[in-house]
Amino acid sequence: MASASTPQALPAPMAFASWLANNEQLLQPPVNNYCLFSGADMVLMVVGGPNARNDYHVNETEEWFYQLKGSMCLKVVENGQFKDIEIKEGEMFLLPGNTPHNPVRFANTTGLVMERVRPEGSIDMLRWYCKKGDHATPTIIHEERFHCTDLGTQLKPLINNWRENAELRKCKVCGQTEDPQ
């Protein structure tokens, strides 16, 4: 005989503009994001600018971007080439899974990013590419692999390790050392 589960009360709607006005200090470098909601299937983050990162994130699932205030540049690797996608205020963009991307946020900008909770066994990557050598295609200098459970806490130590370790930043193809950020 199946037992009935106790129904949970639905959460109240969020007064987002008020929340943002009172919590902008949470959107600080190097990642600049804050998790607003984390459900069984989806995660919703608010992200502020500016940021200064040179890593590219790769995850197996799609990401949805909505730019609330100002514009952002989503740097991607598509068909073996670097490409910039501008997302203007009021625009949205759905990034396909497995697309290396680097969200560049400018000062006084705010956006929302929605991602799927990572399926068990899925692997996210942070990649750094050599931008100094004369490479015909994007050349990976360093890559970190991990199962993502919380971007806000997991990315920062990986990014800081890159910034603090010059040996990680040395391109094995051309020998040049990439900038920390």
Write the pLDDT tens digit of every residue in 8-28: 899 899 999 999 999 988 887
Summarize the confidence of residues 39-59 as an average pLDDT.
92
For the chain, what is the largest distance between any 2 Cα atoms, rounded to a whole number of angstroms? 68
Residues β-bridged to residue 62? none
Write the pLDDT tens digit of every residue in 124-142: 999 999 999 899 999 999 9
Instruction: State how far the Cα of 127 lies from the Cα of 140, in Å rounded to an integer.
Output: 7
Query: pTM of this prediction?
Result: 0.88
Instruction: State how far the Cα of 132 lies from the Cα of 135, in Å rounded to an integer.
Output: 8
Q: Round the CA-based radius of gyration of the chain to a whole number and report it.
A: 18
Q: Count CB neighbours of 155 within 10 A.
A: 21
